[in-house]
Structure 1
Amino acid sequence: MFENIKRFFEADSGSQPPADLPFDYDDLVLLDAEDLAEVGILEAYQQLHPQLRQYGAAEIDIAEEVDEDAGTYTVLADGIRYPIYGEGAEEDAWVLATIAFFDIVNAGLADASHRFYALYGGNDLAGIFLSDEQFRLAQRCFKRAMDRPWVPVNQPPHYGFPQDEEAPAP
C-alpha cells in the first residue's frame, strides 16, 4: 500500500523522495479528511491509541455530538468544542475535521518528544509522528512545499497547508 505513495514520487519527475528522508512512509497513518468529517474523529483517535501511548501522550477525553435532525456533527475534547458539520460549516467540514483531529492529538502530545504532522490533504490525508529534528529535516528535504509535513490550523485560505507559488489550496 505504501509502495503506491513511493511510486507517486517516482512517477513525477522532480518529486522523488530525497535519499536522506527523515521518516519512513511505512509509518504514515492514513486518515482521509472525508472519513474524519463523517463522524470519524473519535474512531480515528481510538485507532491511534497504540502510537500515542508509545510517545507518552496524555489521553484526551473525546465526545461526539451528532444531531441528524439538525444535520450537525460536533466534537468535544478537553473542554474545547469543535463544530465540524452544520452550523454553517458544511462546505468546510473536511478542513474543520482535519484541524480538530490534529489539534486534539497534538494537545495530548504537548509534553512528548514527538508531534503529529499532516501530509497531503483531503482524501489523501495522512499523519506522521515526528520529532522536532525530523520535522526540520523534512522541511528541507522536499523540493515541493506540498510534499512537506504540516500542521493544520484554522487560518484561511490554506489552513496551514504548505504552498508553492503554483500549488492549489487543499
Structure 2
Amino acid sequence: MSQSSESQLEDVTVAVFLAQEGSEEVEFTEPKDVVTDAGATVDVVGHETGEGRTVNNDLEESESYEIEKSFDEVSADDYDAVIVPGGTVGADTLRTREAGVELLREHVEAGKPTAVICHGPWTLVEADVVDGKTLTSYHSLQTDVRNAGGEWVDEEVVVDDGLITSRNPDDLDAFCETILEEFGAASE
C-alpha cells in the first residue's frame, strides 16, 4: 500500500450500524476499529441514540457502546461507506427499523461500499438490494437471500459491485482486509 495504515481512509466517513441490543460484539468492534485505525471518521448509528448492548455468540451479554446518531438524523449523503454487523437479534431488530433500512437502501443504490457480515444481510434483504447480486452470510440466511433474488455462495468474503459480505466471526480477518481495500478504492 502506498499510504500508511493510519491515513489510508483519512477522507472517508463511515456509518457503523448498531442495534439497541443483540449486535455481535466482534462483528461490530473489529471492523469499526480497523476503519478508525486507518483514519476514517466513524459514526455509530442506530434506531435511537444512547446505549447499544452487544452480545457474544448470540447469547451471552457483552459490553455496551454509544450509539452517537439516530437513523432519523443522518442520510446516505453523510457517509462514504457503511458497516452492518450481525448477531441474530441485532440484525433482526435492525431490519425492522424503517429509517435504517431506507438509509441502507439509499446508500447501496448510490453505489457506495457497504460491508455486511453474518446475519446482517437480513437488512440488505429488507432493503430490497440483493436482486442480481452475489453474496454470502450466515448459512441460515441463504434461502432469504435467494428468495430476494440474490445468489448465495459459501465463501469467506464476497464483493459484488461495492457490496462486501462475510459469513461469520471466523471470517473477520478477510472481511476487515477487504473493507480496507474496498473503502480505500472508493475514496480515490
TM-score, scaled relative to structure 2? 0.27
Q: Which has the larger radius of gyration?
A: 1
